[in-house]
Amino acid sequence: MPSPESLLSPEQRAALARGAHESVAAQLVTAGQPAAAGWVLEQIWEFLGAHAHYLAADLPLDALRCALEAARPDLLDHTLELLALRPRSERDAAVQLLQRRGRHAEAARLLAADDADPAARARALLRA
């Protein structure tokens, strides 16, 4: 997938330079580019909107990052539930993100989603 920034038109980049992030994000949603809209909102720390757009774009790992930044347990729980259903590679990336952020209980929760290494889960639980 190309970088979200590369999907922006010169006019949209100019609008971002003027601080019109919400307007650009709305244009991107209308154009069917929710991932790019999420990226735009994330630039101004509007993590709730970015989270919703990343979920709409089927990018739960990006949504996880926003849920952590938003400090909303409900969003975090919902995002973890979605990630638990994703392929192992995505769950592993989420576990690494959570561990880097010191969120070991949440990492253990994802490790319990399948046959992940029980020792890794135990270490995550001990850190929690």
Give the tokens for residue 123: 């270490």
**Residue 127: pLDDT above 80?**
no
Task: Read off the pLDDT of residues 50-87 as tens digits, 9 standing for 90 and up.
Answer: 999 999 999 999 999 999 999 999 999 999 999 999 99
CA 55 to CA 22: how far, in whole Å? 18
Mean pLDDT across 105-114: 85
Is residue 111 very low, low, confident or very high in pLDDT (cuts 50, 70, 90)?
Answer: confident
Average predicted confidence (pLDDT) for the chain: 90
Continuous segment of H or E residues that includes residue 47: helix 47-56
Per-residue exposure over 41-54, b if at least 16 CB sit within 10 Å of its own CB, e if not: bbeeebbebbbbbb
Q: 119: part of which helix (H) or strand (E)?
A: helix 118-127
